[in-house]
Chains A and B, each alone.
Chain A
Amino acid sequence: MKKGILLKTIIILLTLVFSINAQFYFFGRNKIQYDDFNWKVIKTEHFDIYHYEEFSELAEIGAKFAEDAYDDLKIKFNHVPVIRIPLIFYNTHLHFQQTNTTPGFIPEGVGGFFEFMKGRVVIPFLGSIPGFQNVIKHELVHVFMTNKIYNILSDHRVATNKFPPLWFIEGLAEYWSSGWDTQSEMVIRDAILNGYFVPYNELDRINGTYLMYKEGEVFLQFISKEYGEDKILKLMENLWKFPKFDQIIEFTLNEDISIVGKKWEFDLKKKYYPLYETKVPHLVKSKKLTEKGFTFSPNIFVHDNKKYIIYIGNYNGYTSLYKLKINDDSKNIEEPELLIKGEIDSRFESFHAMDNSLDVSKNGIAAFITKSGKTDVIHIYSLIENKIIDKLSFDKLVTITSPSISEDASKITFSAIDRTGYPDIYIYDINSHILERITNDIYEDTDPIFRNDGNGLIFCSDRTAGKFNGKMNLFEFNSANNAINYLTNIDANISTPHYSPSGGLYFTSDYNDIYNIWKLEGDKLIKKTNFITSVYDFGFIDSTKIVTAAFESFTFHLYETDLYKRQDEEIESIQHVSNNERWYPRKLNLESRYERINYKNDYSLDYAVSQIITDPVYGTRGGALFTLSDLLGNDKYLFYLYNTAEVQSDILKSFNLSLSKINLKGRTNYAFGVFNYSGRRYDIRESDSYYYEKVYGGFFDLIFPISVFSRVEMSNSIANSDKDLIGDIITRKSLLVSNSVSYVHDNTLWGPTGPMDGNRYRVLLGYTSDVRYSNVNFYSFIADYRHYLRLDTRTALALRGSVYINHGKEARRYFAGGSWDLRGWPRFKIRGEKLWLSSLEYRFPLIDQFLIKFPFLGIGFFNIRGALYMDAGGAWDKEYKETIGSIGTGIRINFLNSIVFRYDIGKKIENNFNSFQPGLFYQFFFGVDF
């Protein structure tokens, strides 16, 4: 929500205005519903499972996981929710990102969520069945915990909005859903060893981060080990007892919280410090090649005897494709060259940086994957010509990962997920344009590469059956007989296989540890690196030297390192013979056809707000707002009622009400409704006067997103307006028909208080006419352009230029002034049928962290930013008056990521920018930067 005004919000707000003269309009990226899902519902004992047709089998598997999790959690919580739980499944993350169950954009890292309003659990299938099981259970922990805590608090008649801190909520969900995995181990190990582990009393500092999830989880592990597993439930059961969670911990564990925190820290240090005896950090053993940002997927390209690393990096918030020259002679870090700037237009909408999504052939062809529109596509890029030479997209494939180009660059193999949800291996022939599906089953098949003998593929898969059931092992596909055989069968996970220049098969594995590099030699696996934190991917510079993308100090960087010359650790590659066993997840048995039904809109109340206020000046007034929506959030109704009467006799003629329907189901979103607004209005035309106006009519709005970054908006309304100027005896009657069309573009990247990079603009054309009395007749034109020029990671220059024109009979006036446009000038002070504004602002970091510690409490402020600015503008009706503006400086504080406070000091400029007004102005307000 913070990083863009959402399409949905735009639609809701559009229902509240009817005139094209709307002073406030918005930018923001678009959440696009590309697919028309045919939703079904499976009714299980405790759940309503919503899924679309092609995803039936995985939905049944998910239903079984949900029921199994329910059985386990009811005992852990000693509680069951008495309501049915809605579980909504999507088959890929790309489909999940289209959900209307939440208004916000869903980032790549979100694997599911539980929302409180309707108690919905929304989960995408990301390719791994065990992973799917973990996420379902994780979200159900939230459902059980929320329900349990609500019952405890209401039983004790304590306010039911009291919840444990987020580290506990997410830590518990992790702790009670999945086992401790390699990634968790890597992050906590790294945090302890590299000094960024956050002690208990500072956990708020990392609120909402992945580190917070993992620290929460290890804290609960520690409580279970040190004080007993039953204490975790007791922490929830004692929630009513004290206002602060620290007090609840102290009471439940019968120990001072500072002692608990110290014991926890000591326990972790005791576990991880001895690792330095046998393992090495990347920075010590290797040469660091990148310094800023995050870098992934290194591939080596040799051209004109120069070696380059082609990789995916994020240095400034946009993930892009980069090239870095390897300079063996220099100890300095080279400057990377940007090849493709990502995430600013619809071709490269988003890179999947954390996935294996880039490969480079020997002859200089790079294949990389981005989201583009409704699916992922593979871009073919010539490193010699420095340009995109092809784009491969496949209608039936939704997400694509791990591309690998054949030796002669005639074929590409990759892993992809279709609408059934299963990740399988494909080969695409670039010359014949034929796509061949190699695997077609429930297993997660990833990271395929062509065998160096040309006889098929090698890939990683969780099809491992038997003793090491579900582990990601290495398999080979023989193209001669279409057989799939084990290359490894060990109790570990394997990923990113690569051939070395001399033909050795290397890969990463978490055998007995976090991910390091191993080599397959005959029937042996030999460990070739021994880093203390994980290697994510790697590429060969030559037979002994590699470039790794590794995790260390909570960031990903590229390192150049030598493979071990000695044999560090050696194990059998096949430790269990599985005799062609297969594992299959259990599904829920649908006992009758009535258990799977077609989804029909199931409406329930989202929220209802009402308010009655009594004011000594304006008297008593009140209103209410209700919204209803269906379970999938596609269809909404909004009812608004408000009365602004100042005296009893005005009640009947001062009702404001509107009824709107908003449909978000398809790509084209629309809203329509009726309204009646009446009451005293402040007259923008004449200072300090009011008039009575009664307006009633209907509207229809339509929004078509062209891409995530741009859209077309149309707005139509018809409204009868009866306007009495106070003191006048004549009522101005009109039947206003208003139409407008806008084009909106926004690819901005936001910092803590406003946009920092990219640009956004809106162009609007409109016409308003009184079709009955001809009292009103004017056209409208708005052009508003804003550009943000990043100077470095945290500073930017922001520019705004906008012009607003209403021209014709009784054209409405625009207004400006105040903290959001012409700073220092009072709101409404500058008004006219024509208006222009421009701003230039330098945004820079002022204070990152500001802590005030009182003896009894402490307050922390983060992300305090500074600005130097200059505004200019003017407004007029018939003849231009004067240019005014302001110049000054200010600070902005992002408070709890929910509101930005602004304080500006400056001098007003007047008289066509020829003189300053005497004295300074001081302005405090809220809102993000323009």
Chain B
Amino acid sequence: MKKNILFLLIVLFAGCTKPLILKRISFDETLAEKNRNYSNNYYINYALGDSFIYKNEISIKGNLDISPFFFFDSYLFVGDLAGKFYIIELEENKIIGENKFNGSINVPPILSNYRLFIPLNNYDENYATLYFYDILNNKVLSQTNIDGKIDYKIIKYKENIIVINNRGELYKLNLAGTLESKHKLLSELKSEPILINEKIYYIGNKGELFSFSLLENKAKIELENMNMDKLLSYNEEIVVSNNNSYSIIKEEDISHSKLSNISLSKMQSGVTDSNDLFFIDYDGNVICINKNNRNLKWESNLGGFTNIPLVLTKDYLLVTNSIGEIIFVNKDSGQVYSRIKVEERIKTMPQIYENRIYFGVAKGLIKVYEKANNK
């Protein structure tokens, strides 16, 4: 009897635990950097080509925030809103490591040389914690408490990890996980921050454009009285926008910004490539603007409620709506090419990696679609 209970306990504990260990990974920092996006601009330099077909789904039993994925090599690193962190092997679509924290993970981790920086919003605490995790040995090397919440993506800049909290404070840590400095920004953030060269840009509470120099550790107001809501960048180009106007600004010439008019009921997000600028509002109205002449190229009403940012590839604009659809829109004509339809509420942006589209849906599922001709 005792033996049976012991066996049962061993099975139970073994079944619940999958250490965060990655022995087989071959780490290349440049590849890791390539997969990071600090521009708020979800343009992927990749042609989707033919339509996508359902491949499979990964059940992590936890729901995800809007942009939670980090891909590296053949692995997906993701944390859910209930504080569980997973490493998923993509070939087998199998969870190979997981760890439960007491809180919520809202933004993707940073992987740096076999070390993971995992940002956790703690339950019942006034601070968040940045865990510095060794995935070779499955142990927390250090942890740094951050006041408030970490709702904005964490940034790797040279030999530093940059964390900005919801209270408008910037934390600078080194790659060993040690806090180097903390800086009060000039405002809480209204937009996700972006990194261009050595500066972090963001929209402040009253719609101003601010910057923070990571070299000089100095904050600066770049543009006042703009009343902007959204911010994205493409190479060294900054785009600020609100419901009625937008401006494309060169980093070297920020003060000479020129406003152009648009008309959207309530802007949700924007995306841009070298030629065009796309905006969408919450009602599914999409507009495409030629960046060179600022003329409207096409507009389309796709209906539904959209609160997930646009994704752009070389050939399609991907629009995700509340009724469980990802709509593939021809980026040049605005025509709907095809749709992926699922039964559940889509929780995340679709993310494209190695000929596949990944997105999280309700009930803790990550759906995987593959290129139809991907043989």
Contacts and interface: CB of A to CB of B under 8 A. Distances in A.
Given A74-B282, A157-B62, A228 B205 contact: yes
Interface in A734-766: none
Interface stretch (A235-243, A306-314, A450-458): A235-243
Contacts of B305: 74, 80
A154 interface: yes
B184 interface: no
A240 B104 contact: yes
Contacts of B286: none
B307 interface: yes
A154 B205 CA distance: 30
Interface in B319-356: 322-323, 345, 347
Contacts of A250: 126
Interface in A71-113: 71, 74-75, 78-80, 82
B205 to A, nearest CB: 6
B167 interface: yes
B209 to A, nearest CB: 18
Interface in A219-272: 228, 230, 238, 240-243, 247, 250-251, 254
A82 B322 contact: yes
Given A74-B305, A78-B307, A254 B167 contact: yes
Q: Which of A78, A80, A250 has the most CB of B within 10 A?
A: A80
B60 to A, nearest CB: 12
B73 to A, nearest CB: 29
A524 interface: no
A341 interface: no
A243 B81 contact: no
B322 A80 contact: yes
A62 to B, nearest CB: 21
B19 interface: no
B282 A243 contact: no
A146 to B, nearest CB: 16
A156 B81 contact: yes
Given A75-B266, A80-B305, A254-B148, A243 B124 contact: yes
Nearest to A81: B322
A670 B167 CA distance: 62
B63 interface: yes
Contacts of A75: 266, 282
Contacts of A688: none
The interface size bin for chain B is 20 to 34
B7 interface: no
Interface in B74-122: 81-82, 104, 121
A925 to B, nearest CB: 39
Nearest to B305: A80
A202 interface: no
B323 A82 contact: yes
Contacts of B62: 157
A267 B283 CA distance: 37
Given A75-B266, A254-B167, A155 B81 contact: yes
A75 B123 CA distance: 27
Contact of A79 (B81, B124, B283, B307): B307
A154 B148 CA distance: 22
A71 B282 CA distance: 9
Contacts of A247: 124
Interface string B162-175: 00000100000000
Interface string B292-317: 00000000000001010000000000
Interface string B238-280: 0000000000000000000000000000100000000000000
A242 B126 CA distance: 9
A336 B179 CA distance: 77
A251 B104 CA distance: 15
A235 to B, nearest CB: 13
Nearest to A82: B345
A871 B198 CA distance: 87
Contacts of B347: 155
B82 A156 contact: yes
A340 B170 CA distance: 73
Interface in B48-85: 62-63, 81-82
Contacts of B123: 240-242
A242 B148 CA distance: 13
Contacts of A156: 81-82, 104
A80 B308 CA distance: 12
Nearest to B321: A80
A154 B121 CA distance: 16
Contact of B121 (A74, A78, A157, A241): A241
A79 B82 CA distance: 19
A80 B268 CA distance: 14
Interface in A139-182: 154-157
Interface string A49-75: 000000000000000000000010011
Contacts of B121: 241
A188 to B, nearest CB: 28
Nearest to B63: A155
Q: Which of B124, B205, B305 has the most CB of A within 10 A?
A: B305
Contacts of A254: 148, 167
B122 to A, nearest CB: 8
A578 to B, nearest CB: 30
A243 B305 CA distance: 31
Q: Which of A230, A238, A241, A247 has the most CB of B within 10 A?
A: A241
Contacts of B124: 241-243, 247
A79 B322 CA distance: 8
Interface in A418-432: none
A238 B149 CA distance: 10
Contacts of B283: 71
Contacts of A74: 282, 305
A299 B282 CA distance: 55
B29 to A, nearest CB: 33
A74 B124 CA distance: 29
B345 to A, nearest CB: 6
A247 B322 CA distance: 31
Contacts of B167: 254
A804 to B, nearest CB: 57
A66 B323 CA distance: 19
Nearest to A152: B81
B322 A155 contact: no
A82 B63 CA distance: 16
A251 B124 CA distance: 10
Contacts of B63: 154-155
Nearest to A228: B205
Contacts of B149: 238
Interface in A248-298: 250-251, 254
A78 B305 CA distance: 9
Contacts of A154: 63
Nearest to A46: B305
B126 A251 contact: yes
A156 B283 CA distance: 27
Contacts of A78: 307
Nearest to B148: A254
Nearest to B103: A241
Contacts of A240: 104, 123
B182 to A, nearest CB: 15
18 contacts: A71-B283, A74-B305, A75-B282, A79-B307, A80-B305, A82-B322, A155-B81, A155-B347, A156-B104, A157-B81, A230-B190, A240-B104, A240-B123, A241-B104, A241-B123, A241-B124, A243-B124, A251-B148
Closest 5 CB pairs of A and B: A157-B82, A155-B63, A155-B81, A80-B305, A75-B266
Given A75-B282, A156-B104, A240-B104, 17 more contacts: A74-B282, A82-B345, A154-B63, A155-B63, A155-B347, A156-B82, A157-B62, A230-B190, A241-B104, A241-B123, A241-B124, A242-B123, A247-B124, A251-B126, A251-B148, A254-B148, A254-B167
Interface of B: 62-63, 81-82, 104, 121, 123-124, 126, 148-149, 167, 190, 205, 266, 282-283, 305, 307, 322-323, 345, 347
